[in-house]
Amino acid sequence: VLDMANEDDAAPRTLDEARDLWRHSDLATQDLAANLCEQLRLILEPTVATKLRGDYKTGKRLNMKRIIPYIASQFRKDKIWLRRTKPSKRQHQIMIAVDDSKSMSESKSVELAFHSIALVAKALTQLESGSLSVVRFGEDTKVVHPFNRPFTPESGAHVFQWFDFQQTKTDIQKMCSQTLKLFNEVKADADDLWQLQIILSDGVCEDHATVQRLVRRAREDKIMLVFVVIDGINSNESILDMSQVQYVPDANGNMQLKVERYLDTFPFEFYVVVHNINELPEMLSLILRQFFSEIAGM
């Protein structure tokens, strides 16, 4: 379903240029990536004490549920013991979806976006427990790094080739619906697979109601969406101060003007606003912890 970036496709940036950009972002995020990796390890890896489980012929404690069948089977069904087993390492599939629209360059969020891609990609690669994909979106949605390929520094440069932040639309709705399909397609033996999408964008998008429905569907499919709002550092405006004008029908069906805080209708439940690359590890782990604690309580 999803458009894949092929080598022969004309990427908007030359590989040399992209390599320079990657080197710059790589340097700028070295310590931060190690820090984020440690925090992610704590969040993503199972921390619950080892449990007694399983059906074994020998073990630590009897599994009471197996006793009756054991006797009834003339002592043939003798896997009646529980053992302490190591928790299995969770497998992750993490997708970074990055806003390639023109508003990103208008709001001077480009450098922060590149640094964020580098930071998150490197931290996840160091985790070594899952696969990583990068998608760009704007008017179109394109996979610029697929799940089935390891992420190397050269991959970083190839990914950067695909971003010039000139797309004239920010179709978050299309991005969500297409990437949800992709997540569902690659979902292997579902149980122990965690699918997470980290969206990096300036957060300016239309049609919050429709996007919210997609976000809910993702949640039902156990795909986690976390939105990192990149708030331009050099500009004197912020998404936190932005309002939205809407027209809602009153009791008589007449359209009434309503001005509300933009973020009040923001469709993503789990989001953070980041102004500086140094804030990202802390913010991202904060929101992921919140996410996982809520999931655990479900």
Partner 1 sequence: MSESQEQIKIRFITRDEDETIHVSENPLYVPVSLKRYGLSEIVNHLIGHDSPIPFDFLINGTLLKTSLEEYLKSRELSTEAFLTLEYSRAVLPPDFLASF
Taking the complex as a whole, how short is the minimal distance between the CB of residue 185 and partner 1, in angstroms?
A: 29
Residue 270 binds which entry of Mg ion, partner 1, none, CB below 5-8 Å type-dependent? none
- Nearer CB in complex with partner 1: 186/204: 204
CB 218 within 8 A of CB 172: no
Among 93, 103, 197, 285, binds Mg ion (CB under 5 A): 103
Task: Pick the closest to residue 118 from 233, 229, 271, 280 (CA basis).
Answer: 280
CB 266 within 8 Å of CB 276: no
The distance of closest approach from Cβ of residue 115 to partner 1 in the complex, given in angstroms and rounded to an integer, is 21
From Mg ion, partner 1, none, which one binds at residue 177 (CB under 5 to 8 Å depending on kind)? none
Q: Please identify, among the stretches 114-122, 150-158, 177-185, 251-259, the one whose residues bind partner 1 according to the rule CB under 8 A.
A: 251-259
Provide the angle, in degrees to the nearest 10, between the axes of the packed helices 15-28 and 110-127. 70
DSSP string, 181-220: HHHHHH--SGGGEEEEEEEEE----S-HHHHHHHHHHHHH
Per-residue contact flags (x/-) with partner 1 for residues 68 to 107, judged by CB under 8 A:
---------------------------------xxx--xx
Residue 251 sits in the site that holds partner 1 (CB under 8 A): no
Output 93 or 170, the one with its CB closest to partner 1. Answer: 170
How far, in Å, CA of 38 to CA of 246, rounded? 43
103 with 204: CB under 8 angstroms?
yes
Contact yes or no for 98/113 (Cβ under 8 A): yes
Window of 35-43, 192-200, 221-229, 245-253 that interacts with partner 1 by CB under 8 A: 245-253
CB atoms within 10 A of CB 266: 18
Residues contacting Mg ion: total by CB under 5 A: 3
Q: Is 170 in the site for Mg ion (CB under 5 A)?
A: yes
* Residue numbers 82-101 binding Mg ion by CB under 5 A: 101
Please report which residue ranges of the chain form alpha helices under DSSP H.
Answer: 15-28, 30-44, 67-72, 102-106, 110-127, 153-161, 172-186, 208-220, 280-296
Q: Which listed residue (2, 110, 186, 204) binds partner 1 by CB under 8 A?
A: 204
In the complex, the smallest distance separating the C-beta of residue 255 from partner 1, rounded to whole angstroms, is 7
For partner 1, the binding residue among 169, 174, 222, 275 (CB under 8 A) is 169
Closest to 63 (Cα-Cα) out of 52, 73, 72:
52
CA–CA distance, 101 with 174 (Å, rounded to integer):
13
Stretch that binds partner 1, among 38-46, 79-87, 129-137, 257-265 (CB under 8 A): 257-265
Q: Which residues lie near partner 1 (CB under 8 A)?
A: 101-103, 106-107, 167-170, 204, 206-207, 237, 239, 241-247, 255, 257, 259, 262
